[in-house]
């Protein structure tokens, strides 16, 4: 098949979940023998117009960031012009839209240039926007935020309405799409998020991984990697660590990631006198991520709201490291298959501290630690891996035309 992935992020550099899903789909489809193009906007003026990512060609169009209207206009026009260039002599068998705005022009103006259109819903666009936007203090900025959220919701609805199928990464997101956009259930397909078991794998010597990363070889290491934004629940996580008492004094919490909340987290660490127990590691390159999972005793997912899937969860489990998470979004879908003890009863710091304390006690028993480790790894090998994810995606593209439906 000839496949086109349309996005607003790049598959070349992974800095978050959206980039990882895009990259793994591109690599997986190429490995399966398909010709893959990625159409995306350029991150900045210095970005090259094209790149090759693991055998996939990534094509980029420039956008104007002068104001919101020009950004939207230039994105739609730029994506359409580049799409026309790519389809000048041939069409695509499968077009997969990862972000609605980039796909909107080709989807509505060049419908016949792809045999199958699929929309991948990582999370609802307006909810994602609201979760990372601080509430406005006055009426004019509040109105602007509402219009922005409404526009994102509307653009996403238009993309979903036109596509043959909507792919969601979790049952949680299936329900959100049904409730929010009223899409017919038969048009929504669950293809779970995943990890690469060959990249994320158990490390026999945890101390060796710690030495490589400059972490203490003794004691308990807790690790999380998140965008430093409010919805990730990181302030509650710090409070939970303070509530652990003596058990917490034996732990070092390593928080990877960057974002606007970093200054606030540094303040909370000082206020709670956690300087010796918490380390802000900053951005963690993709090539070091597996080593951090392997070095940790537990990986934490303290999300307060909106977790469409949570790739960190399955990547850590692939490394044989148990995960403790909140009952938010898709987190319990995965962790309950291993042991319900891994899911806290709430998102507040007390509930998370209680869950963390219970699991820390449990993994002190080598047999129990091994059980959780093997069960998590087995789950990834059986269900949450990119080979299966891409195979499911390919099957959608190979459906007979008579089985395809558009709204």
Please write the tens of the pLDDT for every residue from 253-294: 999 999 999 999 999 999 999 999 999 999 998 889 999 999
The answer to whether residues 100 and 242 belong to one domain is no
Q: Is residue 264 assigned to a domain? A: yes
**41-45, 114-118, 167-171, 348-352: lowest mean pLDDT where?**
41-45
Instruction: Indicate if 391 and 367 belong to the same structural domain.
Output: no
Average pLDDT on 100-124 reads: 96
Inside any domain, residue 199: no
CB 18 within 8 A of CB 7: yes
Paired sense of beta strands 165-168 and 188-190, if any: parallel
H-state helical runs in 163-276: 171-181, 206-213, 234-243, 246-249, 262-271
Same domain? 182 vs 221 = no
- Antiparallel, parallel or unpaired: β 92-97 and 56-61: unpaired
- Classify residue 48: in a domain, yes or no: yes
Q: What does the pLDDT average to over 367-373?
A: 96
**Separation CA 397–CA 327 (nearest Å):** 34
Transcribe 283-350 into DSSP letters: ---HHHHHHHHHH-SEEEE---S--S--HHHHHHHHTT--EEE-S-TTHHHHHTTT-GGGB-SSSSHH
Q: In the predicted model, what is the mean pLDDT of residues 152-169?
A: 96
Strand partners, 325: 301, 343
Q: Are residues 71 and 87 in the same domain?
A: yes
Is 36 within the bounds of a domain?
Answer: yes
128 and 163 both lie in a single domain: yes
Residue 198 has pLDDT above 90, yes or no: yes
Nearest-angstrom CA–CA distance, 406 and 164: 5
Asked if 280 and 262 touch (Cβ cutoff 8 Å), the reply is: yes
The domain containing residue 398 runs over which residues? 2-194+385-403
Pair 330, 351 in one domain: yes
Asked if 194 and 170 count as a contact pair (C-beta separation under 8 A), the reply is no
One domain for residues 227 and 166: no
Cα angle for residues 312, 381, 383 (degrees, 5° grid): 80
The CATH number that applies at residue 328 is: 3.40.50.2000
- Which helix (H) or strand (E) segment is 381 a member of? helix 366-382
Shared domain for 369 and 393, answered yes or no, is: no
Domain identity same for 161 and 244: no
What is the pLDDT at residue 129?
87
Is residue 406 very low, low, confident or very high in pLDDT (cuts 50, 70, 90)? very low
Domain-embedded: residue 271: yes
Percent of residues, the chain, with pLDDT higher than 90: 83
Percentage of the chain exceeding pLDDT 70: 98
Q: How confident is the model at residue 340 (pLDDT cuts 50, 70, 90)?
A: very high
Closest by Cα among 27, 20, 17, 18 to 3: 27
Q: Which residue has the tokens 């117009």?
A: 49
Report pLDDT for 75.
96
Q: Are 57 and 154 contained in the same domain?
A: yes
CA–CA dist 12, 53 (Å, integer): 6
Asked if residue 401 has pLDDT above 70, the reply is no
Residue 200 lies in a domain: no
Residue 125 lies in a domain: yes
pTM above 0.85, yes or no: yes
Distances (CA, A) of 51 to 65, 99, 320: 22, 20, 34
Under a CB-based contact definition with an 8 Å cutoff, are residues 195 and 387 in contact? no
Give the chain's domain count. Answer: 2
Give the position of tokens 């922005």.
148
> Half-sphere exposure (CA, 13 Å, Cβ side) for 224?
23
Domain membership of residue 201 (yes or no) is no
Residues 111, 98: Cα–Cα separation, whole Å: 17
Alpha helices by DSSP H, listed for 32-170, are: 68-86, 100-109, 125-131, 139-162
Q: What is the mean pLDDT of residues 313-328?
A: 97
Name 285's Cβ contacts closer than 8 Å, sequence gap at least 6.
Answer: none
- Residue corresponding to tokens 């400059």: 214
362-378 core/surface letters (b: 16 or more CB in 10 A; e: else): bbeeeebbebbbeebbe
Residues 34, 156, single domain; the answer is yes
- One domain, residues 36 and 160: yes
pLDDT at position 62 is: 95
Give the model's pLDDT for residue 256.
Answer: 96
Q: Note every long-range contact of 197-200, with CB atoms under 8 Å and residues 24 or more positions apart, other chains counting.
A: 197/318, 197/377, 197/380, 197/381, 197/385, 199/290, 200/289, 200/290, 200/293, 200/315, 200/316, 200/318, 200/319, 200/380
């Amino acid at each position: 098949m000839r496949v086109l992935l349309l996005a607003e992020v790049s598959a070349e550099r992974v800095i978050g979940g959206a980039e990882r899903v895009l990259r793994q789909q591109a690599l997986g489809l190429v490995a399966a023998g398909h010709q893959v193009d990625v159409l995306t906007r350029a991150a900045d003026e210095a970005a090259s117009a094209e790149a090759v990512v693991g055998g996939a060609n990534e094509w980029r169009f420039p956008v104007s960031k002068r104001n919101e209207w020009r950004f939207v206009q230039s994105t739609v026009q730029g994506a359409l012009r580049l799409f026309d260039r790519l389809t000048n002599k041939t069409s695509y068998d499968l077009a997969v839209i990862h972000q609605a705005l980039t796909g909107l022009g080709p989807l509505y103006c060049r419908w016949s240039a792809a045999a199958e259109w699929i929309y991948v819903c990582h999370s609802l666009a307006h909810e994602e926007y609201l979760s990372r936007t601080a509430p406005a203090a006055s009426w004019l900025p509040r109105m602007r935020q509402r219009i922005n959220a409404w526009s994102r919701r509307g653009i996403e609805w238009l993309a979903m309405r036109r596509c043959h199928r909507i792919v969601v990464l979790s049952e949680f997101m299936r329900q959100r799409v049904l409730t929010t956009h009223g899409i017919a259930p038969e048009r929504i397909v669950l293809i779970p998020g995943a990890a690469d078991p060959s990249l994320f794998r158990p490390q026999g010597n945890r101390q060796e991984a710690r030495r490589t990363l400059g972490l203490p070889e003794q004691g308990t290491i807790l690790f999380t990697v998140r965008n430093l934004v409010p919805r990730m629940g990181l302030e509650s996580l710090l409070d939970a660590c303070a509530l652990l008492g003596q058990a917490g004094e034996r732990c070092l919490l390593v928080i990877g990631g960057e974002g606007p909340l970093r200054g606030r987290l540094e303040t909370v660490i000082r206020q709670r006198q956690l300087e010796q127990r918490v380390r802000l590691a900053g951005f963690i390159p993709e090539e070091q991520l597996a080593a951090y999972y392997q070095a940790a005793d537990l990986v934490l997912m303290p999300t307060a709201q909106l977790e469409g899937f949570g790739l960190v969860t399955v990547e850590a489990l692939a490394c044989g490291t148990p995960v403790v998470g909140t009952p938010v979004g898709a987190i319990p879908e995965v962790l309950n298959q291993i042991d319900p003890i891994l899911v806290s009863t709430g998102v507040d710091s007390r509930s998370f501290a209680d869950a963390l304390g219970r699991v820390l006690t449990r993994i002190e028993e080598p047999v129990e630690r091994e059980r959780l480790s093997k069960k998590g790894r087995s789950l990834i090998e059986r269900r949450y891996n990119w080979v299966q994810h891409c195979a499911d995606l390919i099957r959608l593209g190979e459906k007979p035309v008579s089985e395809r439906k558009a709204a």
